Amino acid sequence: MTMTSLNETHDPALRSWVDSANAPECDFPIQNLPFAVFRREGGEEEWRGGVAIGDQVLDLEALQRLRPFIGLAAEALEAASLPWLNEFMAMGQSAWSALRLALSRALRVGASGEADFVHCLVPMSEVEYGMPCVIGDYTDFYSSIYHATAVGKLFRPDNPLLPNYKWVPIGYHGRASSIEVTGQRFHRPQGQTKAPDAGQPSFGPCQRLDYELEMGIFIGAGNELGVPVNMAQAESHVFGLCVFNDWSARDLQAWEYQPLGPFLAKSFASTISPWIVTLEALQPYRHAFVRPEGDPQPLPYLDSDHNRLSGALDIELECLLQTPAMAEQDQPAQRLSRSSFRHSYWTVAQMVTHHTVNGCNLQPGDLLGTGTQSGPAPEEAGSLLELTCGGKQAITLANGEQRTFLEDGDTVVMRGVCAKPGLPRIGFGEVSGTVLPLRQ
Amino acid sequence: MTMTSLNETHDPALRSWVDSANAPECDFPIQNLPFAVFRREGGEEEWRGGVAIGDQVLDLEALQRLRPFIGLAAEALEAASLPWLNEFMAMGQSAWSALRLALSRALRVGASGEADFVHCLVPMSEVEYGMPCVIGDYTDFYSSIYHATAVGKLFRPDNPLLPNYKWVPIGYHGRASSIEVTGQRFHRPQGQTKAPDAGQPSFGPCQRLDYELEMGIFIGAGNELGVPVNMAQAESHVFGLCVFNDWSARDLQAWEYQPLGPFLAKSFASTISPWIVTLEALQPYRHAFVRPEGDPQPLPYLDSDHNRLSGALDIELECLLQTPAMAEQDQPAQRLSRSSFRHSYWTVAQMVTHHTVNGCNLQPGDLLGTGTQSGPAPEEAGSLLELTCGGKQAITLANGEQRTFLEDGDTVVMRGVCAKPGLPRIGFGEVSGTVLPLRQ
């Protein structure tokens, strides 16, 4: 089953009996219904699946004990109530859609089950989030041509955008074990670096610690090893998206990355936002995927009418920084840049199809990072490396502090949202992470 | 607990009441005792852990029902009897050693339990093997300087060995989902390639399909995210080693690998041998790790007396090919090359320590590939890419057939063994895999 159209769950006129979901600035209206794994903070409760509605989390484990649904929606609810969403993800689009429809109907103003459902709500302010699933493999793409060009200029001034870029959705295998959910606090990594003029490398703490503003794509139903997923099927294998911070140690990266790619520069930490927004919820924000004039068309295996007409997703992204000094003075995080996933040179479907064209199997819960989503303007860059021109031009913050790269105690916050006049706001919430000093 | 010496399980004089284990050419004498997951072939039995002894598999699930051991050995036996060895791997060196000692004593000539144990033996000829564990993350290193230099010459004639090679144990994240155990049969991968003189890439089946002769290193006890493993601790995190074929699509690799490393060129298939030989079993085959005259010493975090004195392992490797024509005429596989893991420029301990120095967490069951283990002589190359000088000089087989790269129906067999006069032979058995035609 491939989704190509809107259905009753997308109706902008829908309102929920959960009042907070109807506020115009709410990330989680009834048209969104993203999934997470959560529990009440501070306790020893079991982790379980939940759905965001307004400022509440609908506890799917509590809900499924009420047996509110029948058929596929009931089966999907049971799987989505578990401490890991892998089983639910594996069920595929028809199950995800059935549960979404059932939840949408139950949460609408006037729904008959309100009296029961209301007891399954937990205030979002009282919960903590877990990893939504076991991530078997994590792959990171490099899908912003603006990021690739800007970074290429720094690493290879004479050869910024390599000849394969406009043909191959460049990606590499990443480290799954060090991915955590929002709130990750990690020690500054250490490793080998070599200054351009040094005769040999030295060992010490990373001096050029950076973030990367990405989207994360969660695979739903997998494909069998040896059986590629074509463009027509690709989106049916995608469960949903989150916001993703792929922390990077630029000085480690510069010294280690040739010839086999980034390794320790990436594997110390990566942070996902807790809520996975389904591809179905993002339907109203599809738009045409147009390549710049003069660029080659994708090879046929990466091309389809559907992809050209509506393969891109208009997800606005922003990245914010809160320094220890700002936190001490209760100043909120300050925005460093804004961008959008619509700038991606490769669509979600193209990444999935390319990934599997050699027979590689994707499994439920696998994560694909999109790569840093920098926009065309320099101020739309999704990393400090770009915003500071490789660390040469410090950013001055509102309180007078300066940054080239991240300092100990810095907290980076990223947010994503789909918002257009006349359409319901589909928010991703945020992902936050904090740099701790080098571990002694 | 770190092993630095031999114990009674290594005594070359030990003999087993399983007669076949005492044959001089047997890979699995009582001094070896490697672990696998297996079941009787052709049935629907549950997978369970087993230990190789002679031409038999000791069924650990059947054995643990007899409760033959007490204390830590009993706990270890229970964990090692499960369908996945991750739990056993996580128990650490003291548990692995306790079980090894208990099994060694029980399998010796004259052991009191022979009458019970004999009922737990399954002939190796009647079993099939499963994956020994869930591999959370797979990392591939590049530890043979001879391989790195030879391949570097082909990909970058003017710049074969990059300046970081002698300082950084180069590695990259690999794809865990497509790793299978011996007997893997996979379709020829397809993808983008670009001929040097072509204006643009084309899409089609891989034309330069290759194997890579590697060792696989299984992580036992993991480390916490953010807590590096130093050289003194490194080996205690290693459960054991296997032989590993990291199939490679050279034409896909050449076009895709810059700037982020190999991706689809590797992720279609990788094959491990079924038996994991523990680091403890390999103790007698340790030897000094000496860098070539004039090469820099490793940075202190990658250096230790123990590593210099006995960090290397003398494991002989060989790679064989059986073409469809050979199979049809019942000709055995023909040897293409021999090499040894002792040529590795980086030791097991150095790979583990480097991998975690940035805080990256390794987990029980994670796999580290060593990279292709080519020796110093051209005929000791661990890949066809090297043996055929990049496909320019075909190999002529004994039956007159020629090969530059692998053809449909080819079966590649790799074997590993430790063997020295006066020491027990510690064999790895073999890993075999077959190329099927492009999937239609």
Q: What is the DSSP string of B350-411?
A: HHHHHHHTTSPPP-TT-EEE------SSGGG-SSHHHHTTTTTSPEEPTTS-EESS--TT-E
Local structure of A244: helix, strand or coil: strand
DSSP A297: P
Residue A74 belongs to a domain: yes
- Minimal Cβ distance to A357: which of B201, B264, B357: B264
- Cα–Cα distance between A255 and A206 in angstroms, integer? 12
Which tokens hold the place of B376? 């110093």
Residue A2 belongs to a domain: no
Quick one: pLDDT at residue A113?
86
Q: Mean pLDDT, to the nearest integer, of B234-248?
A: 98
Question: Both B90 and B209 in a single domain?
Answer: no
Question: Both B90 and B151 in a single domain?
Answer: no
Quick one: pLDDT at residue B2?
45
- Cα–Cα distance between A254 and A156 in angstroms, integer? 10
Chain B contact present for A247, CB below 8 A: no
Q: A147 catalytic, yes or no?
A: yes
Helix axes A93-107, A71-80, angle to 10 degrees: 90
Which tens digits make up the pLDDT trace of A48-73?
Answer: 999 999 999 999 999 999 999 999 99
Question: Both B103 and B241 in a single domain?
Answer: no
Chain A contact present for B200, CB below 8 A: yes
Interface of B with A in 12-71 (CB under 8 A): none
Question: Both A177 and A111 in a single domain?
Answer: no
- The answer to whether the CB of A52 falls within 8 A of the CB of A34 is yes
Rg of chain A in Å (alpha carbons) = 22
Enumerate the residues of chain B whose CB falls inside 8 A of the CB of residue A180: 225
Quick one: pLDDT at residue B113?
86
- Cα–Cα distance between A180 and A273 in angstroms, integer? 9
pLDDT band at A339 (very low <50, low <70, confident <90, very high): very high
Q: What does each C-alpha distance from A420 to A4, A52, A315, B239 come to in angstroms?
A: 20, 20, 10, 55
| Mean pLDDT estimate for chain B | 96
Cross-chain residue pair B439–A359, CB shorter than 8 Å: yes
CA angle A181, A184, A186 (to 5 degrees): 145
A206: Cβ–Cβ under 8 A, 6 or more apart, which residues?
A188, A189, A190, A191, A193, A249, A250, A251, A252, B358
Enumerate the residues of chain B whose CB falls inside 8 A of the CB of residue A178: 225, 359-361
Cross-chain residue pair A167–B192, CB shorter than 8 Å: yes
- Cα–Cα distance between A120 and A67 in angstroms, integer? 12
- Beta-bridge partners for A339: A317
Which tokens hold the place of A61? 């484990």
- Cα–Cα distance between A316 and A15 in angstroms, integer? 24
Using the 3D structure, point to which of B97, B130, B163 is the last residue of a domain. B130
Question: Both A334 and A382 in a single domain?
Answer: yes
Enumerate the residues of chain B whose CB falls inside 8 A of the CB of residue A201: 164, 167-168, 299
Is the backbone peptide bond immediately before A24 cis, with ω within 30 degrees of 0?
A: no
Chain A CA closest to residue B248:
A358
Quick one: pLDDT at residue B4?
55
Rounded to a whole number, what is the distance in angstroms from the first to the last CA of chain B?
53
Cross-chain residue pair A226–B187, CB shorter than 8 Å: yes
Question: Both B201 and B96 in a single domain?
Answer: no
Residue B249 belongs to a domain: yes
Interface of B with A in 117-136 (CB under 8 A): 136
Chain A contact present for B175, CB below 8 A: yes
B12: domain CATH number is: 2.30.30.230
Is the backbone peptide bond immediately before B259 cis, with ω within 30 degrees of 0?
A: yes
What letters, b where the CB count within 10 A reaches 16 and e where it falls short, cover A87-112?
A: bbbbbbbebbbbbbbbbbbbbbeebe
pLDDT band at B5 (very low <50, low <70, confident <90, very high): confident
Which tens digits make up the pLDDT trace of A128-163?
Answer: 999 999 999 999 999 999 999 999 998 788 888 999
Cross-chain residue pair A361–B177, CB shorter than 8 Å: yes
- The C-alpha of B152 sits at a distance from chain A's nearest C-alpha, in angstroms, of 9
Chain B contact present for A172, CB below 8 A: yes
- The answer to whether the CB of B344 falls within 8 A of the CB of B312 is yes
- The answer to whether the CB of A239 falls within 8 A of the CB of A89 is yes
DSSP B17: S
Quick one: pLDDT at residue A106?
97
Local structure of B210: helix, strand or coil: strand
Quick one: pLDDT at residue A217?
98
Chain B CA closest to residue A203:
B299
Q: Mean pLDDT, to the nearest integer, of A341-361?
A: 97
Residue A199 belongs to a domain: yes
Among A10, A147, A237, A355, the one annotated catalytic:
A147
| Nearest in space to B164 (alpha carbons), one of A151, A208, A164, A261 | A261
Which tens digits make up the pLDDT trace of B243-277?
Answer: 999 999 999 999 999 999 999 999 999 999 999 99
- Cα–Cα distance between B140 and A260 in angstroms, integer? 10
Q: Mean pLDDT, to the nearest integer, of A24-33?
A: 97
pLDDT band at B34 (very low <50, low <70, confident <90, very high): very high
Q: How far is CA A19 from the centre of its chain?
A: 27
Chain B contact present for A190, CB below 8 A: yes
Question: Both A294 and A368 in a single domain?
Answer: yes
A294: Cβ–Cβ under 8 A, 6 or more apart, which residues?
none
pLDDT band at B1 (very low <50, low <70, confident <90, very high): very low
Quick one: pLDDT at residue A1?
39
Cross-chain residue pair B358–A252, CB shorter than 8 Å: yes
Question: Both B424 and B306 in a single domain?
Answer: yes
Question: Both B272 and B353 in a single domain?
Answer: yes
- Minimal Cβ distance to B299: which of A203, A257, A261: A203
Question: Both B42 and B102 in a single domain?
Answer: yes
| Nearest in space to B292 (alpha carbons), one of B145, B404, B181 | B145
Q: Mean pLDDT, to the nearest integer, of B434-439?
A: 98
Quick one: pLDDT at residue A282?
98
Q: Mean pLDDT, to the nearest integer, of A215-230?
A: 98
Residue B3 belongs to a domain: no
Q: Among the listed ranges A84-93, A106-115, B87-96, which one has the minimum average pLDDT value?
A: A106-115
Chain A contact present for B355, CB below 8 A: yes
Which tokens hold the place of B414? 């790799």
- Cα–Cα distance between A270 and B243 in angstroms, integer? 31
Local structure of B436: helix, strand or coil: strand
- Cα–Cα distance between B100 and B383 in angstroms, integer? 35
pLDDT band at A4 (very low <50, low <70, confident <90, very high): low
Q: What is the DSSP string of B287-300?
A: E---PPTTPPPPPG
- Cα–Cα distance between B355 and B370 in angstroms, integer? 12
Question: Both B34 and B50 in a single domain?
Answer: yes
Quick one: pLDDT at residue B134?
98
- Minimal Cβ distance to B361: which of A136, A177, A361: A177
- The answer to whether the CB of A163 falls within 8 A of the CB of A255 is no
- For residue A236, pLDDT over 90 is answered with yes
Q: Mean pLDDT, to the nearest integer, of B346-364?
A: 98
Using the 3D structure, point to which of A101, A130, A159 is the last residue of a domain. A130
| Nearest in space to B179 (alpha carbons), one of B245, B271, B266 | B271
- For residue B340, pLDDT over 70 is answered with yes
Using the 3D structure, point to which of B94, B110, B130 is the last residue of a domain. B130
- The answer to whether the CB of A388 falls within 8 A of the CB of A406 is no
Which tens digits make up the pLDDT trace of B126-185?
Answer: 999 999 999 999 999 999 999 999 999 987 888 889 999 999 999 999 999 999 999 999
Total structural domains within chain A = 2
Question: Both B342 and B228 in a single domain?
Answer: yes
Mutate to test the interface with B, among A134, A173, A246 (most CBs of B within 10 A): A173
A147: Cβ–Cβ under 8 A, 6 or more apart, which residues?
A371, A372, A373, A374, A381, A382, A383, A386
Residue A249 belongs to a domain: yes
Quick one: pLDDT at residue A85?
98
- Minimal Cβ distance to A268: which of B139, B168, B360: B360
Residue B309 belongs to a domain: yes
- Cα–Cα distance between B434 and B188 in angstroms, integer? 10
Residue A107 belongs to a domain: yes
Cross-chain residue pair A268–B168, CB shorter than 8 Å: no
Enumerate the residues of chain A whose CB falls inside 8 A of the CB of residue B172: 172-173, 260-261, 263
- Beta-bridge partners for A434: A185, A411
Enumerate the residues of chain A whose CB falls inside 8 A of the CB of residue B301: 203
CA angle B263, B432, B362 (to 5 degrees): 50
Cross-chain residue pair B226–A156, CB shorter than 8 Å: no
Give the structural domain span for B78.
Answer: 8-130
Which tokens hold the place of B384? 């066809």
